[in-house]
Structure 1
Amino acid sequence: MIVNVKFKSYWLIVALLGGIHPLLAANDEPLSAQSGLYVRQLILDGLHPTRLTALESHLKQQLAGKLSEDCQITLSQRAQPIVSVNCYMTAEQIQAFKISISRFYIENHYINSGAIIPDQEVKEGVIVIRIIEGRLTDVVIENEDQLRLSSGYIKRRLKFKEDEQNILNMKTLQERLQIMQQNPLFKQIVGNVAPGDKPGDGILKVKVREADSLQIGFRFNNYRTPSVGAYRGAVELNYRNLPLGWGDAFYFRYGLTKGLNDYALNYSVPLPLMRYDTTLSLDFDKSDSEVVTEPFNELGVKSDSERWSISLRHPFYKSYPPPDPNPQSYQEFALALKLERRSNTTFLEDEPFPFSRGSIEGEMEYGVIRFSSEWLSRGQYNVLAFYNTFSFGTDALGSTTIDKTLIDNHFLTWLGQFQWFGSFKQFSWMRSSFPRLWESRLLFRTNIQLANKELLSLEKFAIGGHASVRGYRESQLIRDNGVSASLEWHIPIGHLSFDETEQGKIHLVPFVDYGRGENKDRSTPEPKDISSVGIGMRWSPLKKVHTQFYWAKALRNISQPDHDLQDEGFHFEIYVNLW
């Protein structure tokens, strides 16, 4: 993705750096007719009060040695911002004041802001310096008629906040364009600042290229537990930027194994009239499964599960780290609140049967409130991500079907997730000696869950499988409390592509996995922990085809009633972007 931002500021130079007429000495004459005079105060007409402290420090530094020793530089806020000087000043010294103020704005990226000294009568040693704080008066989308997005969606994210009074800061504006470029709705944003109708006014003209709205994909993997069929095919449809023009999105997924069919729906929409990407999401998923492994397949064990939720996510902070915005650097902090309702019914020979503690005649239904935080920091060589989720079981989201004599649904859990992705390219000395290793990357991830009491079966922590500890079956261990961790080394070893794109890199991925889990308030069956070492390969032979294969050696032997490819340590996935 490309961010191309061009700014024109030639129209500002006269307003910022234009001089004043030579001055002649006579206090009862206009300022333009004075060469020097006693100045008690300089009134900074139009200065935003928030800039007082920074401007005072700047003036003292810039004017050091240019004023007489008896001159003071003290800024204060009364009816208007004033500078107390209390000394005799020449025309050149007054002009130096004005130029220093203009330079303060330019150095702080306010490129169409500055100071001018209008001709005036000087009374009681008071001179008025007019501050022009240039503003962004309008945002014009030059290809608006070609976009699906509404113009308001784009303008709200580019205009300055009311407390900033739309004062144009080029660094902030460039940062906002780069932040918008992170939005998957956009492929490219080109911005250009042009002069407005009045001095100091600026108009931002942008051209927007929208990303493709529809994406359809198919994936095939062995990421399900063998009891319902490990091999799963799934079709996914992602439609971003629906015709409403709000930036809303719809997602649908349908998956199928030998004993399981599941589907999921999601609709998300940035709240209208808000510029901060506060997003409302509605989710629903459902799965129907039956045990297909022998000899249990003769028992007719089935399960139906549903989950719906409504959530609100608000990014409180989005920024490129100082001092200079880097298109490859980005930080974001967000909070989210989710209201979720879950239900599960289990059957034996088509009759409801309680397989899980707390179910009533095989039925379980309850509500959960989840509060989560997210922090992401992406730099040129490193990516860090933290996720925290606190879940509270509750009766407040509708009727509850739980046998509370066996288990309490008023639980509290904390789920913490951490990921770090680092590139060896930050070590320049490796480039010539170890070129393959210089292009390699490390990935570390860990998940941990802590619970205050025994949990319902749907809330437990699963350990084992492709996203946890490879070399074991999916969800090999299911516990109340648990931790899993993985370390991978992605090493490029070659290139093989079947099209003309830059795809085709082959990465070798040695890794080590570990997981441990224990129950709360109940005994924990053995084993409590599992671990593995192994190697994998990631390869994208075509632009729209992505594959990954992993083999792991389990370091703990666990007997199984039947045989599956997961027992041999193999985990794989093939994804094809159909549209």
Structure 2
Amino acid sequence: MLALLPVNLLAATLPPAIDPAGQNQDLMRREEKIQQREQAEKKPVLIDEKPVATSTDDGAFFVLKSVRFTKSEILNADDLRKVVGPYLGKKTRLSDLNKLVAGINAAYREKGIFTAAALLPPQDINGGTVIVRLVEGKLGELVVEGNDYVPDTYVRDWIRNVQGEQLSDMTLLESDILQFNRVNDSRLQAELRAGKGFGLTDVVILVDEVAQNNFQLFVDNYGYESSGENEVGGLYRRYGLFNGSDRALVYGLVTDGNIAFSAGYNTPVRSTRWRVGSSVSLNQTEITSGDFENVLVNGDSSSITLDASWLAYSTPNFWLNAVSSAFYSDSETTVADEIISDYSITKLNTGAQFTWYGAGWQWTGRQLVSWVSTKNKAVVDNDQAFMVLSGDTTAFFRPGNTNGYGLLQLDYQYTAEDSIPGAVAYSLGGAASVRGYKAGVVSGDSAYQISLEAHYTGWRAFGGDVDSFVFYDAGEVYSTSPSQMVQSVGVGLGWHNAAGLSADFTVANAIDNVVPDQDDVVFYGRFSWKWSK
């Protein structure tokens, strides 16, 4: 019946989910949300030298009358008096002297000095006077270890606060390491070791590199019903392509009626805390199922994105990035070989994203402001220019050392413009959206969605770890037609083993009816294999 409609009327009836650029944007948004679930913060650790073992032979008691120190250029008389005062004039044994020495070492640490130590040399104690030797060593070398493809020189560029003869403040070294870890994919740790010469202490930077080559193959049913739900895809990610801390990605996906390809590259700008990148994507869509199956609906889209981020603020438990990007896409949709839409879209984004975490919890968020310009070359006087506000946040909480954790995800988009193109519209439904509905079941100019999950990870089966969970999803879209709300509840199961095999399943029940002949229960599943070297 639809095949008998004039093309111009048929174009008006096409749902937003058929727009190839819209499908491409949904695909990128979906994979981004899946990757967000897999990311975990790795806090750097600063490892101090193990304390020297002390003797358990306390010897005889004596009254401590005075303590003589060798010359110090770091601790003044008041610093030493505060440590020694509680022991003077009291009965003392060797164990008490060891505590006194430990107190002096703590005074060094409070000043941020890790290359100095107090020692109790062998001696005969006469008249209640004890001699304590202060060894105020100097920095030896800055050593970089554990790196294969990340250059030593690149790591050294980030460690700015190991200079001179003293490591004057260990917190500054930790700050350097935190900044490196928050801009780069590899992770640094630091430890102190005895240097080659007497009184020298080396700072050793340990580099934990990510595997340089990463492959993933997957099959799932996450696709659109109109162009093929069953998907086969793969990606290859390469780290250290040119400079040791850059990364490149190639991604491909095929369904019955859809072929998608994307490639991207991102690199740090030396040690400036900037990263810049670019990506391209191509998408070909053919409607192979549903009401429009017999009217030859086809679409092509291509896009290019330039992006940049800058670590603007960093503390041990919080950091903030300034982000910006420029996006351009072309998309064309045809019905019976006649062009019904030919969009070019330019989008400029700017905003910020943050991460904040503590013991057992982490919260991340992003807020963007976008300026969008669209032009439909198939329609006269149909240009649009408008602003879009969008954001997302993810919160993770694990109570104590339990096997359970909670996860919250929230996304939104708002614009005052009506009837915006599919490439910048917001759709709901799908494996990474409201899971009780088919992908792209509803779409609108403005929207929000929220997911609440409660997980339990104390299971093992078939040689792998199991993550079971229950969830509630909800979302609402707003456009020229009345708003539509969708909600679902369900259960999920994730499984993975050490060989890189994984499986993820969800079964969700839709609460709201929004389309005719809607399925009450929707199942999503993905099998994947990851290999790294």
* TM-score, normalization by structure 2: 0.72
Q: What is the CA distance between 1:576 and its match in structure 2?
A: 1.1
Q: What residue identity is the alignment partner of 2:474?
A: Y
Deviates more, 1:507-516 or 1:478-487: 507-516
Match of 2:487 in 1: 531
* 1:173 maps onto 2:173 in alignment: yes
Q: Deviations over 1:135-157 (max 9, x none)?
A: 8675222566xx22211211122
Question: Is 1:572 the counterpart of 2:525 in the alignment?
Answer: yes
1:370 and 2:326 matched: no
Is this contact kept in 2: 1:220–1:232, CA < 8 A? Answer: yes
Per-residue Cα deviation, 1:542-568 (whole angstroms, up to 9, x for no partner)? 54112111111111223447x8xx763
Select 1:293's aligned residue among 273, 278, 289: 289
The amino acid that maps onto 2:357 is R
CA shift at 1:223, angstroms? Answer: 1.6
Q: What is the root-mean-square deviation of aligned Cα atoms in Å?
A: 4.1
Contact 1:193 1:203 in 2 (8 A): yes
Q: Which residues in structure 2 correspond to 1:205-216 (within 5 Å)?
A: 205-216=204-215
Whether the 8 Å contact between 1:160 and 1:166 is mirrored in structure 2 is no
Match of 1:344 in 2: 331
Aligned 8 A contact 2:373 2:384 in 1: no
**Deviating more after overlay: 100-109 vs 250-259:** 100-109
Q: Which residue of 1 aligns with 2:360?
A: 381
Indicate conservation of the 8 Å contact 2:323/2:352, yes or no: yes
**In 1, Cα distance between equivalents of 2:325 and 2:210:** 29
Structure 2: give runs of 5+ residues left out of the alignment.
1-41, 53-66, 87-102, 118-134
* 1:313 alignment counterpart: 309
Aligned-partner Cα distance in 2 for 1:8–1:440: 34
CA distance in 1 between counterparts of 2:304 and 2:139 reads: 44
C-alpha deviation, 1:319, in angstroms: 3.5
Given that 2:457 and 2:465 are in contact with CA atoms closer than 8 Å, whether structure 1 keeps it comes out as no
- Work out whether 1:390 is the aligned partner of 2:366: no
Mapped to 2, the partners of 1:348 and 1:549 lie a distance apart of 36
User: Which of 434, 446, 449 is residue 484 of structure 1 equivalent to?
Assistant: 449
Who is 2:155 aligned against?
154
Structure 1 residue 372, shift from structure 2 partner? 2.6
Residue aligning to 1:74: none
2:397 equivalent to 1:405: no
* 1:217 alignment counterpart: 216
Quote the Cα distance in structure 2 between the aligned partners of 1:152 and 1:382: 35
Alignment match, 1:418: 393
Is the aligned partner of 1:5 residue 2:1?
no
With structure 1 as the length reference, what TM-score do the two structures score? 0.67
- SS at structure 2 position matched to 1:515: strand
Deviation at 1:256, TM superposition (A): 0.3
Q: Which residue of 1 aligns with 2:276?
A: 280
Match of 1:334 among 321, 324, 327: 321
Are residues 222 and 108 of structure 1, via their aligned partners in 2, closer, same or farther at CA, if it must alter by over 3 Å?
farther
**Deviation at residue 415 of structure 1 after TM alignment:** 0.9
Deviations 1:6-42 (A, max 9, x none): 44899xxxxxx98479xxxxxxxxxxxxxxxxxxxxx
Pairing of 1:193-212 with structure 2 (within 5 A): 193-195=193-195, 203-212=202-211
Is the 1:366–1:401 Cα contact (8 Å) retained in structure 2? no
**Per the alignment, do residues 457 and 142 of structure 1 end up closer, same or farther by CA in structure 2, a change over 3 Å counting?**
closer
Once the two structures are TM-superposed, the CA of residue 218 in structure 1 deviates from its matched residue by 0.8
Inter-partner Cα distance in structure 2 for 1:166 and 1:518: 62
1:69-126 superposed Cα distances (whole Å, 9 cap, x missing partner): xxxxxxxxxxxxxxxxxxxxxxxxxxxxxxx999865313223479xxxxxxxxxxxx
The answer on 1:466 being equivalent to 2:431 is yes
CA gap 1:158/1:283 in 2 versus in 1, 3 angstroms: same
**Are the counterparts in 2 of residues 135 and 168 from structure 1 also a CA contact under 8 Å?**
no
Q: Cα offset for 1:169? A: 1.9
Point out where structure 1 has 5 or more consecutive residues left out of the alignment: 11-16, 22-44, 48-54, 67-99, 115-131, 322-330, 354-361, 427-437
1:8 and 1:194 in contact (8 A); partners too: no
Provide Cα deviations, 1:184-215, integer angstroms capped at 9, x if missing partner: 7547756334458898x754234445332101
Distance 1:363 1:161, change over 3 A: farther
* Residue 298 (structure 2) pairs with residue 302 (structure 1): yes
Question: Does the aligned pair in 1 maintain the 2:263–2:280 contact within 8 Å?
Answer: yes
Aligned match of 1:435: none
In structure 2, what is the Cα distance between the partners aligned to 1:442 and 1:422?
5
Please name the residue that 2:257 is paired with. 259
Partners of 2:358 and 2:106 lie apart in 1 by 31
In the superposition, relative to structure 1, how do residues 165 and 384 fare at CA in structure 2: closer, same or farther (>3 Å)? farther
Report the count of equivalent residues: 444
Q: Do the aligned partners of residues 406 and 138 (structure 1) sit closer, same or farther apart at CA in structure 2, a change above 3 Å counting?
A: same
The 10-residue stretch of structure 1 (484-493 or 201-210) with the greater mean CA deviation from structure 2: 201-210
Shift of 1:460: 1.0
Q: What is the CA–CA distance in structure 1 between the aligned matches of 2:507 and 2:524, rounded to whole Å?
A: 6
